[in-house]
Chain A
Amino acid sequence: MTRLDLTCFPWAKTLLRSRWPQFLLRAITLAGFVFTILAGLFGSVVGSHNFAIIFVWIAWWTALKLFFIPFGGRSWCSICPIPMPGEWLQHGGILQPRGKGIGLDRRWPHFLKGSWLQAGGFLLVGLFGAVTLTSASVTAVVLLAIIVLALVLSLVFERRSFCNYLCPIGGFTGLYAQAGPVEVRVKDADVCAGHSEKTCYSACPWGQYPLALKSSANCGLCMECLRVCPTDNIAVNLRPWGSDLGPKTKHRLDEAFLGLVMLASALVDSAVFLGPWGQLKSAAYAIGSLPWLLFAGVFLVAALGVLPGLYAAAAWAAGRLGPSKTTLQNALAHYSQVLVPLGLMAWIAFTISFAFTKFSYVLAVVSDPLGWGWNLIGMSGTAWVGQATSFSLLLQIVLLAVGLFWASRVARRITESARPAMPLIAFSGIFSLGMLWLLIG
């Protein structure tokens, strides 16, 4: 397939090779992260007037799904501040390449590898989401806990173990980065074959070996390999969307689980935050109460039972209908690629529903970040609650339709004939209809 290597442009190459632009962005996001925690802890308890709520759950969360992932895959990971303090200690420096710092440098336990914990973390976010998303102090505590956990883990384990195996957002971005239009790959495999030092692998904070990269799921686009390659053999490609999804790429069972958890979370978030059911909202909010336990039970049954059950039935049927026999486990893993475009477009459609109406809060909290009555840029009190327009409704229908069409195309590509694709398309159709009903119905 066609690729456009950005390193062919001298200016782009300079920007990517230099550590400064990325470092500066990360330094700014780190300061922003610290400020967000302080705002959450000390600012107004009213969410719409607190920088922590508006910037994390409106601005950043929207930007991640509408901009960073669809146009840059894991590009957010390349400027994420969370691993920065830990890496400073781990590397013994902040700008220089990976070096000897402090830390035990242990290997991550094998049984904890994969996306299982990330998917579990995302489930937890969903279970406690109603409070986390509305309470600034809870948001701050969660952010603080995450950065402390990342710091501690980087002192015990090697490289970016937190990002690779624990960060729920890492799981989310990694999964959908497979559909994203950016990839880091080697230019000429033969050159690598003759290079025994593998400086790129030693430099990679993610523990990836560029020559072996078949999927962008675990590449954080940090560009370290590009910077240390002695033969300038690393390409940063723009590529068609969905390039990692195909018959040849290998996939694991935990990817299927992650994909299903994301689909279930999209459904539940749509129901809780956009649905007209007041009792559901209060149940999701009343953590620890009987209604909440009921909500958590239904959520978990949907995420771990109903949706995986439907998917397993579809994957089993697809496996049976195909000409070559395969085990159910292989079918579940292989067909999980269908869940990527389906989930990505569902999350984008979900985001559209609140991004437009709530965006006016962003400037207002820049003007008064702590809700203390400041007016730094003269925009305090300018927030208004927007209305869902027919345009945004139409856009959501189109996005869900694109998701279904895209998932169907992937289903067709990864199955050998049209017949085994049918159950997977049917599964995608049921999910898309469910989303459509929750968003528009």
Chain B
Amino acid sequence: MLVKKETLARFLVVGLVLIAVVIPFGGQWLSGRNQPAINELHARMPENGGWSMDTIQAKVGQPLHLHITSDDVVHGFTIGKSDQPALEILPGEYVDTTLTFDRPGKYTFYCNRWCGPNHWRMRGTIEVSGTGTPLALDPQPLYLKLGIDIDSPKAAEAIPSKLASADRGAQFARLLPTYAVERDTYLSTSPAKLWLRLRAESALASLSDQDLWEAVAWIWQQQTTTEAIATGQKLYVTNCAACHGETGKGDGVMVRGLPVWDAGSHTSGDMTPQATGEGRVSPPDFTDPKHLLGASPVLLEGKIIRGGMGTGMPYWGPIFTTPQIEALVSYLYSFAWGYTNLQVK
């Protein structure tokens, strides 16, 4: 009798332990059995390993199922140059999404939540193969065509003594030479350079320095729209403010406590990166006009596309479309002109 009970007890112990082992492994097998091919993607801060897949393969017209979760903090999942709404990836929670691509090519997926100092490194590629018109290659950035050295930006040669009002500048519009209001001039010239050039015009000798600055502010305002500035602001707040700060002062949460940027530190990245690999310097203060008034739109566009070598500024070329970058540039100048809240035509 005792032996029978002992045997029963042994069976019970072994049986219960087996159930404990079967639940995780059997459950995984069961839940995986009836699912279509699913790519499980784990989001982790770059310090913890980054995305679990750097490259995801997909085929034109065939749905790509992604089963995404975060292993540490809140991340985002979104695809560069697309209208795909960003997904919020919460730690331990799974989000499913299905993507279908109709053109072959390389797409960039990235995290859009400021998850840590190396947040921007959370990028990966979706390689879409198959038939169809391939994604167009990006045109060569204008800074390369024009041969502008974006790694040694010059401080503005001249700055206004007080904020220049674009609205007041409108009254001098008819006095301005034709080249001053052309798009090409705007793109390739910094506000300070244009101001110097206009200052040298004898026809404008009657205008005071401040009048002339206001004329330049008006020119800059002519090159954008309220919508573009609003778009630029949205992009800036989501992507740039982490380092550059919401008010453009270069005091974003990710760069606090880092040494201040100066022109000498802006080299082509031959310095040894920090252990965190990121954030060597604080970005410049955009509200100080000597920075932005010395930079042409092409230079700013180039920096956004390629990033700032050795400064920790990431490259946004694979993520923003050309109109988005243009909008961003026009929003940036609002820090220098102070027309953030101003009505723009």
Q: Which of B2, B17, B67, B92 has most A Cβ within 10 Å?
A: B92
Decide: A31 and B17 in contact? CB cutoff 8 A.
yes
Chain B residue with minimal CB distance to A381?
B93
B67 cross-chain contacts in A, Cβ below 8 A? 373
B70 contacts chain A at the CB level, 8 A cutoff: yes
Shortest Cβ distance from residue A342 to the other chain B in the assembled complex, whole angstroms: 38
Decide: A27 and B12 in contact? CB cutoff 8 A.
yes
Q: How far is the CA of A50 from the CA of B69 in the complex (A)?
A: 14
B99 contacts chain A at the CB level, 8 A cutoff: no
Chain A residue with minimal CB distance to B44?
A45
Decide: A42 and B10 in contact? CB cutoff 8 A.
no
Decide: B20 and A27 in contact? CB cutoff 8 A.
no
Decide: B9 and A94 in contact? CB cutoff 8 A.
yes
Q: A38-B20, A49-B92, A371-B92 are in contact. Are A94 and B13 (CB under 8 A)?
A: yes
Chain B residue with minimal CB distance to A85?
B13
Decide: B24 and A95 in contact? CB cutoff 8 A.
no
B34 contacts chain A at the CB level, 8 A cutoff: no
Interface residues in B12-37 (C-beta closer than 8 Å to A) = 12-13, 16-17, 19-21, 23-24, 27-28, 31
Decide: A46 and B91 in contact? CB cutoff 8 A.
yes
B93 cross-chain contacts in A, Cβ below 8 A? 49, 381
Shortest Cβ distance from residue B23 to the other chain A in the assembled complex, whole angstroms: 6
User: 0/1 per residue, A199-239, Cβ < 8 Å to B?
Assistant: 00000000000000000000000000000000000000000
Q: A30-B13, A31-B17, A38-B24 are in contact. Are A96 and B2 (CB under 8 A)?
A: yes
Interface residues in A18-62 (C-beta closer than 8 Å to B) = 23-24, 27-28, 30-32, 34-35, 38-39, 42-46, 48-50
B270 contacts chain A at the CB level, 8 A cutoff: no
Q: How far is the CA of A34 from the CA of B17 in the complex (A)?
A: 7
Q: Is the interface on chain A under 10, 10 to 19, 20 to 34, or 35 or more residues?
A: 20 to 34
Decide: B91 and A35 in contact? CB cutoff 8 A.
no
B335 contacts chain A at the CB level, 8 A cutoff: no
Chain A residue with minimal CB distance to B27?
A374
Decide: B5 and A95 in contact? CB cutoff 8 A.
yes
Q: Is the interface on chain B under 10, 10 to 19, 20 to 34, or 35 or more residues?
A: 20 to 34
B28 cross-chain contacts in A, Cβ below 8 A? 370, 372
B6 contacts chain A at the CB level, 8 A cutoff: yes
Q: How far is the CA of A31 from the CA of B20 in the complex (A)?
A: 6
Q: How far is the CA of A257 from the CA of B92 in the complex (A)?
A: 41
B301 contacts chain A at the CB level, 8 A cutoff: no
Q: Which of B23, B27, B70, B72 has most A Cβ within 10 Å?
A: B23
Q: How far is the CA of A41 from the CA of B181 in the complex (A)?
A: 66
B320 cross-chain contacts in A, Cβ below 8 A? none
Q: How far is the CA of A31 from the CA of B67 in the complex (A)?
A: 31
Decide: B12 and A48 in contact? CB cutoff 8 A.
no
Shortest Cβ distance from residue A39 to the other chain B in the assembled complex, whole angstroms: 7
A297 contacts chain B at the CB level, 8 A cutoff: no
Decide: A48 and B19 in contact? CB cutoff 8 A.
no
Q: How far is the CA of A226 from the CA of B156 in the complex (A)?
A: 93
A240 contacts chain B at the CB level, 8 A cutoff: no
Decide: A95 and B70 in contact? CB cutoff 8 A.
no
Chain A residue with minimal CB distance to B91?
A46
Q: How far is the CA of A371 from the CA of B27 in the complex (A)?
A: 12
Shortest Cβ distance from residue A165 to the other chain B in the assembled complex, whole angstroms: 26
Q: A27-B13, A46-B71 are in contact. Are A35 and B92 (CB under 8 A)?
A: no
A309 contacts chain B at the CB level, 8 A cutoff: no
A93 contacts chain B at the CB level, 8 A cutoff: yes
Decide: A23 and B16 in contact? CB cutoff 8 A.
no
B316 contacts chain A at the CB level, 8 A cutoff: no
Shortest Cβ distance from residue A105 to the other chain B in the assembled complex, whole angstroms: 21
A24 cross-chain contacts in B, Cβ below 8 A? 12
Q: How far is the CA of A38 from the CA of B9 in the complex (A)?
A: 23
B94 contacts chain A at the CB level, 8 A cutoff: yes
Decide: B16 and A30 in contact? CB cutoff 8 A.
yes
The 8 residue pairs across chains A and B that have the minimum distance between CB atoms: A49-B92, A46-B92, A31-B16, A95-B9, A35-B20, A31-B20, A373-B94, A34-B20
- Residues of chain A touching chain B, judged by Cβ–Cβ distance below 8 Å, are 23-24, 27-28, 30-32, 34-35, 38-39, 42-46, 48-50, 84, 88, 93-96, 369-374, 381
Q: A45-B72, A372-B27 are in contact. List 17 more A-B contacts (CB 8 A).
A: A27-B13, A30-B16, A34-B17, A35-B24, A38-B21, A44-B71, A46-B70, A46-B91, A46-B92, A49-B91, A49-B93, A88-B13, A94-B10, A95-B9, A96-B2, A370-B28, A374-B31
A-B CB contact pairs (8 Å), 16 listed: A30-B13, A30-B16, A34-B20, A35-B23, A44-B92, A46-B71, A46-B92, A48-B92, A50-B92, A84-B13, A88-B13, A95-B5, A95-B9, A370-B24, A373-B67, A373-B69
